[in-house]
Amino acid sequence: MYQIKPVITPKFAEAFALIVIIFLLISVSIIRFESVPHIPILLSILLLFGYGLLKKVSYRTLEKGLVEGAGAGMSAVFLFFFIGILISSWMISGTIPTLIFTGFTLISMTFFYAIVFIVTSLIGLSIGSSLTTVATIGVAFIGMATAMDLSLAITAGAIVSGAFFGDKMSPLSDTTNLASTIVGVDLFEHIRNMGWTTIPAFGITLILFALLSPETAGASVQDVTLFKEGLKTTGMIHWYTIIPLAVLIISTLMKIPALMTLALSSISAIFISFLHQSSTASEIFSVLFSGYVSTTGIEEIDALLSRGGMESMMFTVALVLLALSMGGLLFTLGIVQCLLATIESLLKKVSSVIAASALTAIGINVLIGEQYLSILLTGQAFKEPYDKVGLAGKNLSRVMEDAGTVVNPLVPWSVCGIFITGGIGVSTLDYLPFAFFCLLSPLLTVLFGFTGKTLTYKQAK
């Protein structure tokens, strides 16, 4: 989308006013009126169309910008479809039920939130995908928290924090590779440099979750035992149901593309399902599209296990296409370029360059709701300002991840925010205060920018 050329050059006041109106329209609609994000984004698109027509931009040109913006998200759309299939296939294979059952057996209720954070961090590092981590092991942890009567908001905060720590620091992560590539920094040098902000954020987050973890869970041991027995009645708790998880991790380590990795894991899960249940081809196709429906008769377990399918991703897909379409119009009308150019002209000190690049990454996440665009645009806009103040490129790539990658799940109408809410059933605004890692990362990167600590210069000063 960053390659879309502007057809007009708006005045800064006009561009700023439009951004403020769009931000207020979206945020007030969602927070005050509890609207789904689709409607205010659609209204924002109409507003941009009106502005474009007033500026004598042809309807065809505006429509082209809309389509080009949406086109940038087609790879994400297919990825979401396969994640929906993955969840439903992991349900019928027993992978997710077995993970939940094993969790009840091995994980202590004491320090539960801290354990959730550590485990999701390790899984995220292993597979390099925050959304896959949330959709698999995250769903299992939500099930455990539900059974133990623990806070779903804090559990979700721990899941999101761990998943995005892994996404940020894994050499297998798309965002990590993207950030290092844009500024021309070696991947592992980029990861090492991120450690200056990421390790303190990880440590503080772990301590906070340890302090929040209850000494005893709200549910009794008997309640947990009953939940485990209920899972056993599904007939899907077997050692071999972990094979799809192993396929996922091995495929990722082999650097097989994400789409194919998800497909291979799903296919293996479908074959595994035939070992403990007899399903026809039509039933399998139905589950893959509409999701798995649990029929144990135990309300809590049925609610937990009934999920997944391509159909469950339609809400997310519609949101992604609408948000990126709006982004396409913002670029076509030169609004984003105008704002970035104005910000760039004000940068003279190291601290202001870092703060501005961090705020830009956050702002793009809030405005467009897409972490890849946040990384792309921030990297392209701030290469020159970083050069001017003598900062090495790896400082920029670090800021792009600290304020770009991990902020996206905190925005209710973002791609990650809406996916996570749909996947684990906890709203973005509920888990936001507890996503400590995601909140600390941009704060630390700006703080180090003002103190000058951990920064690398091109030449000694």
pLDDT in tens, 206-247: 999 999 987 655 554 555 677 778 788 888 888 899 999 899
Least confident of 61-65, 101-105, 166-170: 101-105
Confidence of residue 153 (pLDDT cuts 50, 70, 90): very high
| pLDDT, greater one: 49 or 295 | 49
- Please work out, in degrees rounded to the nearest 5, the angle formed at the alpha carbon of residue 440 by the alpha carbons of 437 and 444: 135
Least confident of 71-75, 81-85, 435-439: 71-75
Q: What is the mean pLDDT of residues 409-429?
A: 87
Is the confidence at residue 407, as pLDDT, over 80? yes
Q: What is the mean pLDDT of residues 375-390?
A: 78
**pLDDT in the model for residue 267:** 95
CA trace torsion 135, 124, 168, 156 (10° rounding): 50
> pLDDT (tens digit, 9 = 90+) per residue, 138-149?
887 888 788 778
Which among 131, 5, 138, 112 has a CA at the least distance from the CA of 419? 131
Phi/psi of residue 126, nearest 5 degrees: -70, -40
Task: Count the Cβ atoms, other than its own, within 10 Å of residue 122.
Answer: 15
What single string gives the DSSP state of each residue in 263-332?
A: HHHHHHHHHHHTTT----HHHHHHHHHH-B---SS-HHHHHHH-B-SGGGGHHHHHHHHHHHHHHHHHHH
Is the confidence at residue 426, as pLDDT, over 60? yes
**pLDDT in the model for residue 198:** 93
**pLDDT in the model for residue 172:** 64
Phi-psi region of 238 (alpha: psi -120 to 50; beta: other; left: phi over 0): beta
For the chain, give the mean pLDDT: 84
Give the best-scoring range by mean pLDDT among 70-79, 196-205, 231-240, 359-368: 196-205
| Alpha carbon distance 37, 29 (integer Å) | 8
Is the confidence at residue 319, as pLDDT, over 80? no
Q: What is the mean pLDDT of residues 301-324?
A: 80
- CB neighbour class for 128 (10 Å; exposed up to 12, middle 13-18, buried from 19): buried
Least confident of 21-25, 246-250, 377-381, 417-421: 377-381
Angle between helix axes 314-332 and 350-368 (nearest 10 degrees) is 130
CA trace torsion 297, 299, 302, 306 (10° rounding): 130
Answer for the pair 367, 23: CB distance below 8 angstroms, yes or no.
yes
Answer for the pair 308, 291: CB distance below 8 angstroms, yes or no.
yes
| pLDDT, greater one: 392 or 304 | 392
- Please work out, in degrees rounded to the nearest 5, the angle formed at the alpha carbon of residue 25 by the alpha carbons of 346 and 404: 50
Is the confidence at residue 459, as pLDDT, over 90? no
Confidence of residue 460 (pLDDT cuts 50, 70, 90): very low
Q: What is the mean pLDDT of residues 293-321?
A: 79
| pLDDT, greater one: 284 or 352 | 284
Confidence of residue 2 (pLDDT cuts 50, 70, 90): low
Is the confidence at residue 461, as pLDDT, over 50? no
> Rounded to whole angstroms, what are the CA distances from 114 to 29, 155, 211, 221?
34, 9, 9, 20
